[in-house]
A and B are shown apart, each in its own frame.
Chain A
Amino acid sequence: MKNREKVEAAVASDPFGEATALSLQDRMQILYEIAISIGVTLDLRVMLTTALDVFLRQLNCTSGAIYVARPSNPPQEPTTAIPRNLRHNEAVAWVQRTIQAAPEWQEWPALLPSLSQSAHAGGDLYVHGLALGNLGFMVLARPAQPLDDEMLNMLSPLLIKLTESSRACLQNEELATAHQSILWERNMLRSLIEATPTILYSLDKEGHVLYCEGRGLQLLGLDAEQVRGVSVYEVYAEIPGAIEAVQTAMAGRQASATYELEGRSLDVVLQPVVDARGDLHGVVGVSYDVTERKTAIDTLTAVLNSVGEGVVTVREPAQIVMVNRRTTEMFGYEAEELIGQPLWRLFPDDVQPQPSTTVDDFIGQRDETRTGAGAELEGRHKNGESFPIELRSGSFALAGSKYHTLSIRDITDLKEYERLRDDFTSTVSHELRTPLASIMGWTETLLTEHPGPLNDLQKRFLNTVYASSVRLDKLIEEILTVSRIQRGTLRLQPAPCDPAKLLQSALAAATPLAAARSISLTVEDSWPAGQMVMGDAERIEQTMLQLLTNAVKFSHSGGEVVVRSGLDGATWRFEVQDQGMGVAEDEIPLIFHRFYRGRAARKAQIQGAGLGLYVCKAVIEGHGGEIYVTSRPDAGTLVRFDMPLRETHA
């Protein structure tokens, strides 16, 4: 009973039997195990969990948590806690009650004073908030009795050790993150090097290969280990250009070269490695395998050099970036003299545009000289002589820049041929007119029967001769007109004229032909009475008649031709619309060319010399007007001209 009494007394004063008196040595023994548990790893969470576990066991606490302020840790969550199930963690519950609202992690330092305390947390629970410097804090909870002051004081060095270990872990995390980042970048770079046909290498001052990597090595059948330590001068022994580039880089200047090695084409860029004091330590180089690219360029160059026309590629606004061999032959320059120069170098002074002029503008200004196939203008040889060229252009975009490809044809021979033909035509036409006038005159005389009576058969024959002579005279007149146009000697005689009267005259002339082919002429003349136009009445009427005659000729028998004439603002608009065989779309730009005859006309064997519309265009444009054609095969054609009322062009 003596024992039982003793125990009952002890339990009465300390119901849980935990207030055992501890000697200093006992306390040191407890703290020692905590001390050696701190900092056993550089992984923050593992380190803190290991330490917290020992804190709890050694100090006989029922729960605990450690909060460390860091961006990766949600501020309202402990970095580590025991029990891990926070529903049963009284230490975490106390922190949540104490701080109320969830702070940002940067706000933890300001909260530390309120959290660093020993407190009675309700019931028989006590908590100790222990600051870990400015990094965070640890909370320990134990029931029945708090840690005594002596023990709390003795914990101070351990908390410093825990703080510094945490700091080391955080620094390690930063280092690990940086290391990961470096590793990631290194791997990315290595992947890039291994995936591209490139060779990266570094050389020491003597030219020995220190480092060499890249898929380009495989293409050369080389191995990085095989190349390492080898003198670059040996590798490039047969390639003077490459050795020269290395020597340039070794002299402290960047160098580049293109060379052939093991059947591959390589571009190399070499950069000297110089320290802050300017001392050279070696060279780094990048070689790009450009075999495929070079093959493609060589092929393209061969193709371009084999064509008979000059080809020039120009970057906006007008810088020449490529010329083919024919261009250099045509203009007398070497390619190097043209590349990088403005396009205008190829043109004579009188067509030199403003420096800011673009190729588009330049080509656009020459629309009036376009023939549909290309613009005709003058080129300038290096020796200063001008020569006629025909220019075609196309454009494309590349890497954000606009480029033009110009196809240039030297048309000196063509022009000379045309001149000879025109001279011949003019001469022959004039020579034909004299005997023709005689034939027509004497035929007319015979038909008057003054020389003697003619029987019916003779009259019919003579009428045929006369009609053919008239047609021949008209053809000669057209040829002469064309010749004048070509020579620039066609003269218009402007005077006030009445379009209504001109229409009536043209209709009167065309009606017999229309009647002969049973084609009805429908006239829609809305021209205001008394309104005059300044123009060469004879040429205009000739043009109107040509358009009417064409419409009748190309209409099917029994068809209809509609003629419209009227005022459209300050313009006289004249239209002839038929329902005939029409013109294919691709032929429309060509039907105003000299001697051009449409496929349908040729097929239908419709007579003509292919000069009528050429003359019409020259006459209308000579009056400052414009002439258009819209047509669909087998549906009909509409020809229209617009002529200004008062403007005249001689």
Chain B
Amino acid sequence: MVTFLDKAGSAEALAQFLASAQSDPNIAGLMILAADGNGFAPEVLDPILQQVTKPLFGAIFPAIIHGGQTLTIGTLVIGLPVAPRIVTIRELSRLALPRDLLEELGEPNGAPGTAFMWLDSFSQAADALLDVFYNHFGPALRLLGGGAGSLDMRQKPCIISNAGLLDDAAVIAVLDLPSGIAARHGWVKLAGPYHVTESEKNVIHSLNWRPAATVYSAVVSSVAGEMPPPDRFYEVSRNFPFGLQRYGVERIVRDPFLVDGNSLICVGDVPQGSLVDILTGSKESLLVAADEALMIAESRLAAHGRATTLFLVDCVSRMLFLDDHFAGELALMNMPGVEMVGALTLGEIAGTGRDYPVFYNKTAVVGVFDR
């Protein structure tokens, strides 16, 4: 893979690189990861993107990762050695996703393949889109992706396509490239389980038939002291996410980032009727988990080759939780001879081919490629 990094995050630099990539025979397609701090807007970016004839996809994230560094301003363009087959889905939150949504992507060509899935995290359609994806491809494709958008919690255009910059959208790109993918978070059970007695998609209204915020605050305050006012809720809640139990894997984390009256708003759906634990973590446990993810990913690629590119989809809340230690997490993964790229996302997607694909929170998803 050929990478181009513009730490200034300017549209002009992006345009220049895209123009040169157009004529580069080693580049069959392009993936653009941009930081929200660039302030990219459709009126500026659309003309640039629409001039590119090679297949192109990408997204805007709270931060991007390159070479062990986190950049809140900057643009990373990855020149792909194989042409991606891309489908762009618009009006994601309003759409009852049709079963044949991915028909145009066809079947995997038999070789090991990997799909990237970037979606507007505000669309709240990750689980539905994953269902459509898995019903079409099953475990035949590895899957790597996450939620795009901004940490300021305002929905804005964040999905990059040949048509321009889109909001309330998703992009799926299939590449004929083998990969090894793994997801780990390192959060462990603090209390629970609690019965999710009322919920709507990502909003939990009640736990054990009591107001969700009351139950949650009672548990967390017993450990972390008095809860702050609602406008500073996430300062504490980012340390105590929910966990959904699964057989044979780590719990799936759901991050409560807002309190709305007695309801808790999470990143990702929490099904009504499910049992959730309240989790906690330490800097050590998270770092160990990230390291585990890398090791597992490498082992899963071993049959196809040796890692030369590492793609890290890491949760932005891990950065907020680990604070200064987040550099340590990146350092763990920064291996000699391996180019490290990635993004800090609002929810992570992983389909390893060995389990059911999941939309995670607070998780480090590692993908390694031999090209």
Contacts and interface: CB of A to CB of B under 8 A. Distances in A.
Interface of A: 3-4, 6-8, 10-11, 15-20, 22, 25-27, 29-30, 32-33, 36-37, 53, 56-63, 82-85, 87-90, 142-145, 147, 151
B138 A58 contact: no
Contact of A56 (B193, B292, B296, B356): B356
A587 to B, nearest CB: 85
A19 B248 CA distance: 5
Nearest to A35: B273
A26 B245 contact: yes
Given A3-B288, A33-B274, A83-B136, A17 B247 contact: no
7 contacts: A7-B288, A61-B356, A62-B355, A85-B138, A89-B138, A142-B355, A143-B353
A7 B290 CA distance: 10
B275 interface: yes
Contacts of A59: 246-248
A3 B292 CA distance: 9
Contacts of B193: 25, 29
Contacts of B352: 16
Contact of B291 (A3, A25, A33, A88): A3
A29 B288 CA distance: 26
B137 interface: yes
Nearest to B351: A62
Given A11-B292, A143-B354, 9 more contacts: A7-B292, A11-B296, A18-B355, A33-B273, A33-B275, A57-B356, A59-B246, A90-B139, A142-B355
3 nearest CB pairs, A to B: A88-B138, A83-B138, A84-B135
Nearest to B273: A36
Given A18-B248, A87-B107, A63 B296 contact: no
A11 B246 contact: no
Contacts of B284: 3
A519 B131 CA distance: 113
B295 interface: yes
A3 B287 contact: yes
B371 to A, nearest CB: 23
Contacts of B356: 56-57, 60-62
B223 interface: no
Interface in B289-328: 291-292, 295-296, 299-300
Contacts of B358: 57
A488 B134 CA distance: 111
B184 interface: yes
Contacts of A84: 99, 135-136
A57 B358 CA distance: 9
Contacts of A4: 291
Contacts of B271: 33
Interface in B169-185: 182, 184
Contacts of A32: 275
B249 interface: yes
Contacts of A15: 296, 299-300
A39 B142 CA distance: 32
B250 interface: yes
B183 to A, nearest CB: 10
A60 B137 contact: no
**Overall SS of chain B's interface:** mixed
Contacts of B250: 20
B245 A30 contact: yes
A514 B245 CA distance: 132
Nearest to B131: A53
A631 to B, nearest CB: 86
A419 B352 CA distance: 122
Interface of B: 99, 107, 131, 134-140, 182, 184, 193, 245-250, 271, 273-275, 277, 284, 287-288, 291-292, 295-296, 299-300, 352-356, 358
Contacts of A37: 273
Given A18-B248, A88-B138, A144-B354, A11 B107 contact: no
Nearest to B355: A60
A60 B246 contact: yes
Nearest to B107: A87
Nearest to B252: A57
A58 B273 CA distance: 13
A20 B296 contact: no
* Residue among B131, B246, B299 facing the most chain A CB atoms (10 A cut-off): B246
A85 B136 contact: yes
Contacts of B247: 22, 27, 30, 58-60, 147, 151
Given A11-B299, A17-B182, A57 B246 contact: yes
Nearest to A144: B354
A62 B356 CA distance: 5
A534 to B, nearest CB: 103
A11 B295 contact: yes
Contacts of A11: 292, 295-296, 299
A7 B250 CA distance: 15
B139 A85 contact: no
A53 B130 CA distance: 12
B295 A8 contact: yes
Contacts of A85: 135-138
A63 B354 contact: no
Contacts of A56: 356
Contacts of A8: 295
B137 A83 contact: yes
Contacts of B140: 88
A87 B299 CA distance: 27
Nearest to B291: A7
A83 B135 contact: yes
Contact of B296 (A16, A25, A57, A147): A16
Contacts of B277: 29
Contacts of B99: 84
Nearest to B244: A33
Nearest to A36: B273
Q: Interface centre among A6, A60, A89, A145, by most B CB within 10 Å?
A: A60
Nearest to B302: A15
Contacts of A20: 248-250
A142 B140 CA distance: 13
B139 A88 contact: yes
A33 B288 CA distance: 29
B316 to A, nearest CB: 23
Contacts of A63: 138-139
Contacts of B274: 33
Nearest to B287: A3
B292 A145 contact: no
Nearest to A10: B292
B139 A62 contact: yes
Max chain A CB contacts within 10 Å: which of B137, B299, B352, B356? B356
Given A22-B247, A88-B137, A151-B247, A16 B295 contact: no
A61 B357 CA distance: 10
Contacts of A61: 356
A143 B193 CA distance: 28
Contacts of A30: 245-247
Nearest to B276: A29
Contact of B248 (A60, A82, A90): A60
Contacts of B134: 82-83
A60 B248 CA distance: 7
A84 B101 CA distance: 13
A59 B356 CA distance: 9
Contacts of B273: 33, 36-37
Nearest to A3: B288
Contacts of B137: 83, 85, 88
Given A26-B245, A143-B354, A151-B247, A62 B296 contact: no
A536 to B, nearest CB: 106
